[in-house]
Amino acid sequence: MEKPWLNIYPAGVPVNIDPDQYPRLLDMLEECFQKYRDLPAFVFMGKTITFGQVDELSTAFGAYLHSRGLEPGDRIALMMPNMLQYPIALFGALRAGLILVNTNPLYTPREMKHQFTDSGAKAIVIAENFASNLQQVIGDTQIKTIIVTSVGEMLGLKGMIVNFVVRRIKKMVPKFNLPNTVRFKEALSQGRKFTLKPFQTGPDDTIALQYTGGTTGVSKGAMLTNRNIVANMLQIKAWLSPVLQEREVIALCPLPLYHIFAFTVNCLAFMSCGGRNILIVNARDLPGLIKEWRTHKPNIVTGVNTLFNGLLNHPDFATLDFSSLKATVGGGMAVQRAVAERWQQVTGCLLTEGYGMTESSPVLTVNPVDETMRLGTIGMPVPSTDLRIADDLGNPLPPGPENVGEIQAKGPQIMKGYWQRPEATAETIKDGWLCTGDMGFMHPDGFFQIVDRKKDMILVSGFNVYPNEIEDVLAMHPKILESAALGLPDEKSGEVVQVFIVKKDPSLTEAEVIEHCRTNLTPYKVPKKVQFRTELPKTNVGKILRRELRDA
């Protein structure tokens, strides 16, 4: 297979990585804990814990899990926003040989029940804010070990104030009654009395069930192995090596660690080079995020398009000192050209777009982190990864924008399959190729460009219309804050384009929107209907949910 991107691969980035460098993810962690023992690993609300402290606390937590009768291979759900307890519980669970089930804290009881029953989770670490939801479904699950924690639990005296504000003033903890719960610090205290039991695990053993976002149907657990996650961590580390100085990385982490992007990039890849992660508990609190940025002066920031756009539109953001910023990496959704251009103008730093999915641990491609970056593309495959464009029959298509097909990928980071869903696995992985469901094309030199998801494509009188293109055009309008485009049934043309818009300027009219689109789009792509909204439905990571708009 032709791999034209290898001719223009970024200087200093290896073409391949060794996915067997560490037989287990634990081996990488053990190395980090020893090598960077006294360095800060995670910072949360002013409290810092070092690599050595994470080592000690996670060992105690893992021993506690064993003391409760949990066995290697059992599943444990982690359901909390970014806080110090997350990495401690994560690494403790891995040390006990348990399989992680990362769970979005904002899930409804219905969504929680699906994930816990589907995974067969036997234990959970949950922030108390969400415990009342667990109470509603606990009887339908196999969960017997419940460890409850609070935002302030690991923050010492300050934590008492934080918890008082969260519980009493903001009333963010609904009453709950769950049997036999134990507090996180109590679990750590008890765990110090026990020792971890040894167990065997290898490269192909599943260590995480990472559930797909469910934005295109039922949420499925992607089985990610030691080899998958180790490989992707090494791929990310290799790609960012031009801007990652060992022991000097200060990463702002506004995306939740339970999301696959922050999990692999922040929690693992940055840790593996002795990096410090500044954990943001709520990325929607922009003033709080900006305050943390001002305090810590990060040199690398990860996020999604909606977050970058929100920051650019906050009056205090431009007052920050960006002199330390070396790289900004966007993923999870398409980065809009207008947002990327403005980010560079304001911060002086490129906004580098990457691409991947839960099923690939997640990163498949990234733009170079230098001037060869190409706006509007998703970059090129990371080391040891093959990408191709295929037609509906699975035949590879040649390069060029006229050859749009499905993006398919191969590499050591591709999941083992979907948990207990062999049919769905067979539909998604064909002849070793991961079928992403995303439509795109390859430029002749090896850069890839997405045009949209297969399922979101709009068919207007036989012409393919891609929502991302319309949203990109709308993002160029100075009076528009956010937008979503989708197809609605139409007797004449099969489908018509409807757009949902959040105004930046209240004076914006429907006529202005249509005129702006007419100037920038061919007639069949111009929206026929415009609906103004005060906000758009999003996942907890900030991805706009077109499906919810369509259902509404």
Tokens at 299, concatenated: 């040199």
**DSSP string for residues in 108-177:** -HHHHHHHHHHHT--EEEEEGGGHHHHHHHGGGS---EEEEE-TTTTSTHHHHHHHHIIIIIS--S----
Quickly tell me which residue has 């298509």 as its tokens.
397
Of the candidate CATH numbers 3.90.190.20, 3.30.300.30, 3.40.50.12780, 3.40.50.1100, the domain formed by 457-551 belongs to: 3.30.300.30
Task: Tell me the CA distances in angstroms from 527 to 4, 137, 346, one per residue in order.
Answer: 37, 43, 31
CATH fold of 49-201: Rossmann fold (3.40.50)
Nearest to 44 by CA among 78, 92, 77, 80: 80
291 and 282 Cβ atoms separated by less than 8 Å: no
438 and 468 Cβ atoms separated by less than 8 Å: no
What does the DSSP 8-state code read for residue 92? H
Q: What is the pLDDT along the chain (552 residues), one digit of tens a residue?
A: 689 999 999 999 999 999 999 999 999 999 999 999 999 999 999 999 999 999 999 999 999 999 999 999 999 999 999 999 999 999 999 999 999 999 989 888 888 999 999 999 999 999 999 999 999 999 999 999 999 999 999 999 999 999 999 999 999 999 999 989 999 999 999 999 999 999 999 999 999 999 986 545 578 999 999 999 999 999 999 999 999 999 999 999 999 999 999 999 999 999 999 999 999 999 999 999 999 999 999 999 999 998 999 999 999 999 999 999 999 999 887 888 999 999 999 999 999 999 999 999 999 999 999 999 999 999 999 999 999 999 999 999 999 999 999 999 999 999 999 999 999 999 999 999 999 999 999 999 999 999 987 778 888 887 888 898 899 999 999 999 999 999 998 887 889 999 999 999 999 999 999 999 999 888 889 999 999 999 999 988 888 999 899 888
Task: Tell me the CA distances in angstroms from 303 to 307, 337, 429, one per residue in order.
Answer: 6, 15, 28
Nearest to 96 by CA among 195, 209, 224: 195
CA dihedral 370, 373, 378, 379 (to 10 degrees): -80
Tokens at 46, concatenated: 């002013």
Please give the Cα distance from 460 to 338 (Å, whole number). 26
Task: Tell me the CA distances in angstroms from 440 to 37, 312, 377, 499, one per residue in order.
Answer: 44, 28, 10, 22
DSSP run (H or E) holding 94: helix 85-95
Helix, strand and coil content of the chain, in percent to the nearest 5, comes to 35, 25, 40
Could you state, in order of their start, the residue ranges of all structural domains in the chain?
49-201, 226-453, 457-551
Quickly tell me which residue has 């922050």 as its tokens.
262
Same fold for the pair 49-201 and 457-551 = no
278 phi/psi in degrees, rounded to 5: -90, 105
399-419: b (≥16 Cβ within 10 Å) or e:
beeeebbbbbbbbbbbbbbbb
* CATH homologous superfamily, domain 226-453: ANL, N-terminal domain (3.40.50.12780)
